[in-house]
Chains A and B, each alone.
Chain A
Amino acid sequence: MAKVTFHGVGIKALSACVPPEIVSNRDLGYLIPEEEIEKTINNIGIDQRRIAAPDVMASDLCFKAAQQLMADNDIAPESIDVLLFMSQTGDYRIPATSCLLQRRLGLPRETMCFDITLGCSGYIYALSTAFAYASMEGVNRVLLLDGETFSKIVNRRDKVDWPLYGDAGTATLIEKGDYGDSTFMLYTDGSGENTLKIHAGMRNPITPESCVEREQEEGNIRNDLEVFMDGMDVFNFAISKVPKSIKRLLQETDHTIDDVDYLVFHQANRFMMDFFVKKLKISPERVPYCISKYGNTSSSSVPLTISSELNGRLDGTHTVVLSAFGAGLSWGAAIMQTRDCNVSPVIEY
């Protein structure tokens, strides 16, 4: 079991950037019968999403978020020792996008940069990596950029995925300081590899055929370079694993649900999060949602929710739990004491 605890490191600041282009789920008449649109919106809790222009990448959104964070907190580029980029929609297959961001952000050549790739659970994993490096001798500050542009890998005629996903980029600054303990518990079940998948890649090489759109299950259209999701299996996975993982984290760290000031979920869909809230018996005002405005932004949804809903609310000391889950299957939760965490409001690209 991966249960890891850190001392004397924490989140100093956080920011997020979304594309200005708004796509409303009320315009999905071409995909969903008109009479079912309102019901679908109520159920998934997503009114609208931000969709990046064709020439705007996850790295661009993260770059803007990072610039904002550095300006708001007076962070000198030279003070950043490690840059992590967490995404499944990086600029290129080679090189790592974090290297490109090192140059764009004017970070010194002494900066250690690498990419992390995981599904919607990615932020919790990447944050544990950032905390681990920040705990090491020789590292003071880690800049974690987590961004996704799923609009580029979801087919607009896929009625399972298209109403859900939005694009966003975020920046989180982790550093040594007078922070309390943080504990992460991380889990994996690779037997669920087919639940959420892009078929074409290395094992199934990309050919001209991969780009051909085909009608798939229940009339959904996609090609082999686009995301498939079995919504029912993801739901079953999430409801059976997520509440238990949070209960266990609280138990292992001698907390109760009433100790938690804010519980930030990966914004998968509203129905699912409401189910978690009920199951965990946490008061709903402690569970921020931004899904109605931004949709499911994959791994960036946890920091986007903090930026959107908790800016100005993390002054002083707070007990915060973060929980995310997704492709792999992969899931995890973290509990930490935030101290005067400076959260910038969401900006537009």
Chain B
Amino acid sequence: MSLERFIENFTDLFEETEPDTIQATTRFKELDEWSSLFALSVIAMIDEEYDVEFRGDDIRNSNTIEDLYNIVKERVE
């Protein structure tokens, strides 16, 4: 799995946020569109695209998109 593809999948979830504002180092909880309900879309995307179980604490303990990617990567492998 690649970080670029993960960022693309993550970016696809947003409707209002400009795609080029989202990068590996983006602190996703600071995005205007982010909410606890939005987190459910991320969990669903990770289940669908990577077949990985993602818990609330995984989201809570992550700050950047790369942090999320690293957890998923670890579990895929």
Contacts and interface: CB of A to CB of B under 8 A. Distances in A.
Interface of A: 36, 39-40, 43-44, 160, 218, 230-233, 235-236, 239-240, 271-272, 275, 279
B44 A231 contact: no
Given A230-B56, A231-B56, A236 B43 contact: yes
Interface of B: 35-37, 39-41, 43-44, 47-48, 53-57, 59
B36 A232 contact: yes
Contacts of B41: 271
A240 B35 CA distance: 22
A349 to B, nearest CB: 31
B35 A235 contact: no
A117 B39 CA distance: 31
A297 to B, nearest CB: 20
Nearest to A36: B35
A231 B59 CA distance: 12
Contacts of B44: 235, 239, 275
Chain B binding surface SS class: helix
Contacts of A36: 35
Given A239-B44, A275-B44, A232 B53 contact: no
A232 B47 CA distance: 13
Contacts of B35: 36, 39
B53 A236 contact: yes
A218 B29 CA distance: 13
Q: Is the interface of A mostly helix, strand, loop or mixed?
A: helix
Given A43-B40, A236-B47, A236-B54, 17 more contacts: A160-B36, A230-B56, A231-B36, A231-B56, A232-B39, A232-B55, A233-B55, A235-B40, A235-B43, A235-B44, A236-B43, A236-B55, A239-B43, A239-B47, A271-B37, A271-B41, A272-B40
Top-10 shortest CB links A-B: A232-B56, A233-B56, A235-B40, A43-B37, A230-B56, A240-B53, A239-B47, A236-B43, A236-B55, A232-B39
A223 B9 CA distance: 39
A279 B59 CA distance: 23
13 contacts: A43-B37, A43-B40, A230-B56, A232-B43, A232-B56, A233-B55, A235-B44, A236-B56, A239-B43, A271-B40, A272-B40, A275-B44, A279-B48
Which of A218, A230, A233, A279 counts the most B-chain CB atoms under 10 A from its CB? A233
A160 B37 CA distance: 9
Contacts of A231: 36, 40, 56
Nearest to A232: B56
Nearest to A279: B48
A279 B36 CA distance: 22
Contacts of B43: 232, 235-236, 239
A236 B42 CA distance: 10
A297 B43 CA distance: 24
Nearest to A235: B40
Nearest to B40: A235
A236 B45 CA distance: 11
Most A Cβ at <10 Å: residue of B37, B39, B47, B56: B37
A239 B43 CA distance: 9
Nearest to A33: B35
A218 B39 CA distance: 14
Contacts of B47: 236, 239-240
A203 to B, nearest CB: 23
A92 B35 CA distance: 38
Given A236-B43, A239-B43, A239-B47, A40 B56 contact: no
